[in-house]
Amino acid sequence: MADSSTFTADTPDSPGQVNPSSDPTAAIYVRGNWVRENSFGYLMRRIVQLMVGMVDKRLDSVGLTQAQWTPMFMISKGECNTLAELSRELQLDAGALTRTLDRLQAKGLCKRERSTEDRRVVHLALTPEGDAAIAPVPGVLCDVSNGLLDGFTKEEWQTLMGFLRRLLANAEAMREAAEAEQRAQ
């Protein structure tokens, strides 16, 4: 039997235990009663895993995996033009990203050039072959995303996006606070 501070949801859509408090500022999750299937983090991770698998399967014909098309897509959109920017944005170790870029360069899909102003900076660009290989990605991402949103109204999608942006802002604020605390020590 659950203690008085938790309840067990009895719907198949919401298994597990969460705080039943009507206080809107009360913590949602209760320590000691963690249920993976009721974790938004677990659900988001599963969605991303399934989505990446579907996208990778659709992009198999062009020979790109998620580890390859993601940095290529960001380079193609001008979001990241250096190895350091790409590493920060993707939250990947520069060494791991360098190995991915080595494979892409060996396939003739990207090129790296050292900055003439700062030899530590490596500029990234796609080759014409890289541009051609990445061309189907936006369409595939739209198709898979729309499939995942089947049954959602545009308003529900907008609400979902608002919630996800709030979660992201909270996560970034928590990370920044932890980094500031670590620097202060």
Domains of the chain: 63-134 (1.10.10.10)
Residue 101 burial (CB count, 10 A):
23
Quote the Cα angle for 155-157-158, to 5°.
Answer: 65
Count of all residues that appear for the chain in the document: 185
| pLDDT reading at 26 higher than 90 | no
Distance CA 68, CA 101 (A): 8
The predicted pLDDT at position 57 comes to: 95
> Given pLDDT bands bounded at 50, 70 and 90, which one contains residue 58?
very high
| pLDDT reading at 4 higher than 70 | no
CA 70 to chain centre: 10
The predicted pLDDT at position 144 comes to: 97
The answer for residues whose C-beta is within 8 angstroms of residue 134's C-beta and 6 or more apart is 64, 69, 72, 73, 76, 126
The predicted pLDDT at position 17 comes to: 62
